[in-house]
């Protein structure tokens, strides 16, 4: 492995080269290129990459490097079938890397785990459905089953899934969003009455200033770079707050604009870049509001105002108490917590002040902390002070992760469903769904660890690798009587089976979905609440792979009976029937099937954007919070003599969550390795270490569990002193299950206290990578 600083810009030649390399490595080259051409087009499939939206420009060819990787990874011609599982035991497979497991190709036959041989063996679809039904129907209580969803599932699959599980009798819907934007949904629900962003993609063309908090679009939402650099070119200020110096946020060359590519030019994506400490954003925003309040007080003396007083008066509640709290917060605390100087915060505040239309965006750097909900409430307060909701070119923009994570929640994947939704289910389907709240990811894992939950079903995803405390989570899932994985590719969760375990292979976004009623399409919702259709191109007929909907219908029929509470088979035969049921149950989907014909899809609407506040008070709610004393619930330095660092875990450029495409992280200058830890050069010196030395990393937490990972290579990087960074899923073993966000239960993946110890042993080499 080696690392050297990356000198190019994000996107550009490097991106095209990487995309084509990926295309050529695959054994499906021609098919993949024609797939790419159809991604995000009107009659193509929705890119399984991220949830960024598209301006529906018909016929325009759009893709990004990482979307290309996602498509290519899914559309591989490699297969994992019975010979593979006969050859390798589960114990052996569990020792392999995440990269190795997924690289083997697409699952293409239902498999059942045999604990006596420790091998997966073929099973027929019908036997698999009967087996699931018998385990479910033997439970003492439906709440002993967990129905996990990952955000690639389509609206149609997710709706059928929740209908089945609710009819079965539970609201246990642990979901990937519990580890992702849960803090956003909670904070926005409480403050503006809807847990979604308030802007549309056009608003970026009208904004004067865009503030980006805790996100790395160059890697995770590459199409957003184009939006940002267009805004920049037009003169908008683009201000980034990031714990690391991220190349993709600094400069961008658009691979689809040949002129920039040829001249090797690059457009800056940001005009201003600030590097707060991990978890310091709430203090940053508090500081900005303090500066702005000062300006406001000055203006009032002149008989003017800086805040939007009419908006505050008519639309909000609670502003006075909040401003008192802002005044009471001393600069010393703000500076110490944020890691920025008063000057830097003032600079940011003044950019905000000079703009008229401001967008605030955020992602995991904001949502995966103990005080994430409070931080997002602080962002909302700032925007409400200036009337920045419901106005063109302005608003709140949480940038979602999985391509349909927002849609899944819309159609009912929700462990705390709103009463109106439950009432509609009762009205439409004639049964009373369970009324008590179910399990989120945190509760589900605890219940499985205790042995209370006994059946785990996963609609996609890879919970063992995505959740914190990897070893404990693996043990918890292994305690189940039955685990079922509806999946495209082999992963860590499949090789940690329950007593019995099934792998049920399904189609992905890129595949043709042929049913009795003809070729089917599915729908997804992007970050901007746009719903559009997606239909795949790859022909998988002839293999024993079924669609997600067909699999769920198979399970539902076997468990509940063919007609209970609907004619299940008719839903699998023609997904229009599912969309008719969604239309009947959920507001916003009127004429669902007809409206899918409109190019670019249709907008679900957003009540807050219309200044319709669905909160208890009927107004936008200003929430007053104190700044947290520490990013953790205790002072870790009091528990050890070694210097304590706060660790964030993040994505490399060569991965999609737990899916590892490769071992490079181009923009951060890493090649050929993932077991690296990024440190400030001064901290390296302070520890008496040198770049490329190897360290073991150990968590400081309040229990006796040892959480340690070994042999991570030290990499000097632009990161505040006292903060370090490593990749997930490797570093997930360090995050205690109990370390979670207030209100949201989201794992604190961006703040874990650790100490570094010079490595005791030489690294083991697995699949060419140190482990
Ligand atoms: N190619 C690709 N695309 C993806 C994904 C993928 O894995 N690969 N994952 C998808 C999913 S599910 C999601 S949720 C999104 C994730 O998209 P991101 O949120 O961009 O993902 P992370 O890699 O976790 O990056 C977090 C960023 O926040 C910064 N950061 C961390 N902590 C803090 C903090 O306390 N304050 C500030 N200001 N910054 C901080 C980090 O330095 C990093 O740049 O991307 C989606 N798109
Ligand atoms: N430490 C740390 N942990 C994190 C995070 C972090 O930043 N740091 N991020 C968190 C976030 S934001 C998220 S969203 C979660 C992600 O958690 P998950 O959504 O559970 O994980 P993924 O890695 O996206 O799931 C990958 C698997 O999904 C399956 N799959 C892929 N496509 C399809 C499909 O079309 N249908 C079906 N049925 N299956 C499919 C494949 O088998 C693949 O192995 O991880 C979280 N975990
Ligand atoms: Mo996510």
Residue 444 CB coordination number (10 Å): 28
pTM: 0.94
The ligand with the least distance to the CA atom of 746 is 2
Work out the burial of residue 293: count CB atoms within 10 Å of its CB; fewer than 13 is exposed, 13-18 middle, 19 or more buried: middle
Instruction: For residue range 501-513, list pLDDT tens digits in order.
Output: 999 999 998 899 9
Instruction: Give the C-alpha separation, 348 to 351, whole Å.
Output: 5
User: Which of 179, 362, 477, 496 to mutate to test ligand 2, by most ligand atoms within 8 A of the CB atom?
Assistant: 179
Which pLDDT belongs to residue 363?
Answer: 98
Question: 662 Cβ partners below 8 Å, 6+ apart?
Answer: 99, 654
Structure tokens at 181: 């934007």
pLDDT of residue 499: 98
pLDDT exceeds cutoff 90 at 123 = yes
At residue 407, φ and ψ (nearest 5 deg) are -65, -40
**How many CB atoms within 10 Å of residue 569?**
16
**In the structure, what pLDDT confidence band is assigned to residue 39 with cuts at 50, 70 and 90?**
low
Ligand 2 pocket test, pick from 102, 464, 466, 733 with the greatest ligand atom count within 8 Å of Cβ, gives 466
Q: Distance between CA atoms of 360 and 63, rounded to whole angstroms?
A: 25
Neighbours of 615 (CB within 10 A): 17
Among candidate residues 362, 352, 345, the one with its CA nearest the CA of residue 307: 352
Distance 64 CA to ligand 1 centre (A): 17
Is the model's pLDDT at 173 over the cut of 70? yes
Helices 125-138 and 548-560, interaxial angle, to 10°?
50
Residue in the structure block whose two tokens are 């590892």: 660
Copy the structure tokens of residue 431: 């049964």
d(CA 240, CA 74): 33
- Beta-bridge partners for 211: 239, 360
Cα separation of 491 and 484, whole Å? 13
Beta pairing class for 518-520 and 513-515: antiparallel
Confidence of residue 767 (pLDDT cuts 50, 70, 90): very low
Interior angle at CA 335, CA 331 and CA 337, nearest 5: 115
388 lines ligand 2 (CB under 6 A): no
Mean pLDDT of 507-531: 93
Strand partners, 725: 648, 678
Q: Residue 359: beta bridge partners? A: 210, 395
Q: Please, what is the Cα angle at 692 between 686 and 695, to 5 degrees? A: 65
Give the model's pLDDT for residue 675.
97
Whose CA is closest to atom 34 on ligand 2? Answer: 508
| Band of pLDDT at residue 629, cut at 50, 70 and 90 | confident
Residue whose Cα lies nearest atom 22 of ligand 2: it is 461
| Percentage of the chain modeled with pLDDT above 70 | 90
Task: Find out whether 585 and 156 touch, Cβ atoms under 8 Å.
Answer: no
| pLDDT (average), residues 474-499 | 98
Quote the tokens at residue 184: 């956003």
Contact status, residue 751 vs residue 278, Cβ threshold 8 Å:
yes
Report the candidate in 194, 254, 247, 198 with the shortest Cα–Cα distance to residue 224: 254
Give the pLDDT band (50/70/90) at residue 25.
Answer: low
- Position 76 scores a pLDDT of 85
Q: Ligand 3 being an ion, which residues bring their Cβ within 5 A of it?
A: 180, 401
- Residue 73 predicted with pLDDT over 90: no
Least confident span in 13-17, 436-440, 521-525: 13-17
Which is more confidently placed, 50 or 535?
535
Q: How far is the CA of 224 from the centre of ligand 1 (A)?
A: 13
Contacts of 459 (CB under 8 A, 6+ apart): 147, 148, 149, 150, 153, 157, 158, 161, 486, 548, 552
pLDDT at 733 over 60: yes
Residues within a 6 A CB radius of ligand 1: 49-50, 66, 180, 213-216, 219-221, 241-244, 246, 276, 278-279, 281, 363-365, 401-402, 648, 650-651, 655-657, 750
Q: Distance, CA 149 to ligand 2 centroid (Å)?
A: 9
How far apart (Å, rounded) are the C-alpha atoms in residues 738 and 745? 9
Contact by Cβ (8 Å): 461, 493: yes
pLDDT at residue 441 greater than cutoff 60: yes
**Do the strands 765-766 and 769-770 form a parallel or antiparallel pair, or are they unpaired?**
antiparallel
């Amino acid at each position: 492995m080696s690392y050297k600083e990356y000198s190019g810009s994000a996107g550009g030649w490097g991106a095209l080269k990487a995309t084509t390399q990926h295309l050529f490595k695959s054994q499906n080259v021609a098919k993949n290129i024609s797939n790419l051409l159809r991604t995000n087009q009107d009659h193509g499939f929705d890119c399984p990459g991220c949830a960024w939206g598209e301006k529906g420009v018909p016929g325009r060819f759009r893709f990004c490097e990482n979307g290309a990787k996602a498509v290519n990874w899914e559309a591989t011609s490699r297969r994992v079938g019975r010979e593979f599982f006969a050859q390798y035991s589960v114990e052996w497979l569990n020792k392999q890397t995440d990269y190795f497991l997924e690289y083997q190709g697409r699952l293409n036959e239902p498999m059942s785990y045999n604990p006596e041989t420790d091998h997966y063996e073929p099973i027929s679809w019908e036997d698999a459905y009967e087996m699931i039904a018998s385990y479910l129907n033997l439970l003492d209580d439906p709440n002993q089953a967990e129905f996990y969803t990952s955000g690639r599932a389509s609206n149609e699959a997710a709706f059928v899934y929740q209908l089945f599980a609710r009819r079965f009798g539970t609201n246990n819907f642990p979901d990937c969003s519990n580890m992702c934007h849960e803090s956003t949904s909670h904070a926005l629900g409480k403050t503006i009455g809807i847990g979604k962003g308030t802007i549309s993609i056009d608003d970026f063309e009208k904004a004067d200033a865009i503030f980006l908090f805790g996100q790395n679009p160059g890697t995770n939402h590459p199409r957003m770079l184009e939006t940002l650099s267009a805004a920049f070119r037009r003169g908008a200020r683009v201000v980034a707050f990031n714990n690391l110096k991220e190349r993709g946020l600094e400069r961008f060359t658009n691979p689809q604009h040949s002129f920039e590519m040829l001249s090797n030019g690059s457009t800056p994506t940001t005009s201003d870049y600030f590097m707060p400490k991990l978890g310091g954003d709430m203090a940053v925003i508090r500081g900005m509001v303090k500066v702005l309040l000062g300006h406001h007080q000055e203006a009032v003396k002149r008989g003017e105002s800086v805040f939007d007083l009419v908006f505050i008066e008519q639309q909000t509640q609670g502003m006075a108490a909040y401003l008192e709290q802002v005044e009471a917060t001393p600069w010393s605390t703000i500076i110490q917590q944020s890691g920025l100087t008063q000057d830097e915060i003032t600079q940011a505040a003044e950019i905000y002040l000079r703009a008229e239309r401001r967008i605030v965006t955020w992602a995991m750097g904001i949502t995966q902390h103990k005080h994430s909900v409070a931080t997002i409430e602080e962002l909302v307060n700032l925007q409400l002070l200036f009337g920045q909701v419901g106005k063109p070119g302005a608003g709140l923009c949480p940038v979602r992760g999985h391509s349909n994570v927002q849609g899944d929640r819309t159609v009912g994947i929700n462990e705390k469903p709103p009463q109106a939704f439950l009432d509609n289910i009762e009205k439409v389907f004639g049964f009373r769904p369970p009324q008590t709240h179910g399990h989120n990811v945190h509760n589900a894992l605890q219940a499985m660890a205790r042995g209370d939950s006994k059946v785990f079903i996963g609609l996609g995803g890879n919970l063992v690798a995505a959740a914190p405390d990897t070893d404990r989570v693996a043990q918890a899932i292994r305690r189940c009587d039955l685990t079922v994985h509806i999946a495209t590719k082999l992963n860590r969760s499949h090789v940690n089976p329950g007593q019995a375990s099934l792998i049920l292979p399904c189609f992905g976004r890129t595949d043709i979905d042929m049913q009795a009623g003809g070729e089917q399409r599915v729908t997804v919702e992007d970050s901007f609440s746009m719903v559009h259709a997606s239909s795949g191109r790859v022909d998988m007929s002839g293999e024993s792979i079924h669609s997600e909907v067909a699999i769920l219908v198979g399970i539902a029929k076997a468990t509940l009976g063919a007609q209970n509470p609907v004619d299940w088979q008719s839903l699998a035969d023609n997904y229009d029937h599912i969309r008719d049921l969604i239309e009947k149950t959920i507001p916003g989907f009127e004429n669902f099937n007809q409206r899918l014909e409109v190019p670019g899809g249709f907008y679900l609407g957003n009540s807050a954007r219309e200044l319709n506040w669905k909160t208890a008070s009927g107004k936008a709610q200003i929430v007053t919070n104190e700044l947290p004393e520490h990013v953790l619930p205790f002072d870790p330095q009091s528990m050890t003599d070694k210097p304590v660092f706060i660790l964030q875990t993040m994505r490399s450029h060569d991965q999609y969550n737990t899916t590892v495409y490769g071992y490079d992280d181009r923009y951060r200058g890493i090649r050929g390795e993932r077991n690296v830890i990024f440190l400030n050069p001064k901290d390296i010196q302070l520890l008496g270490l040198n770049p490329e030395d190897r360290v073991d990393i150990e968590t400081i937490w309040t229990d006796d569990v040892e959480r340690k990972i070994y042999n991570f290579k030290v990499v000097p990087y632009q990161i505040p002193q006292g903060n370090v960074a490593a990749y997930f899923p490797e570093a997930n073993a360090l995050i205690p299950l109990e370390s979670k966000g207030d209100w949201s239960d989201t794992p604190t993946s961006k703040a874990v206290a650790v100490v570094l110890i010079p490595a005791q042993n030489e690294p083991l080499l697995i699949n060419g990578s140190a482990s």
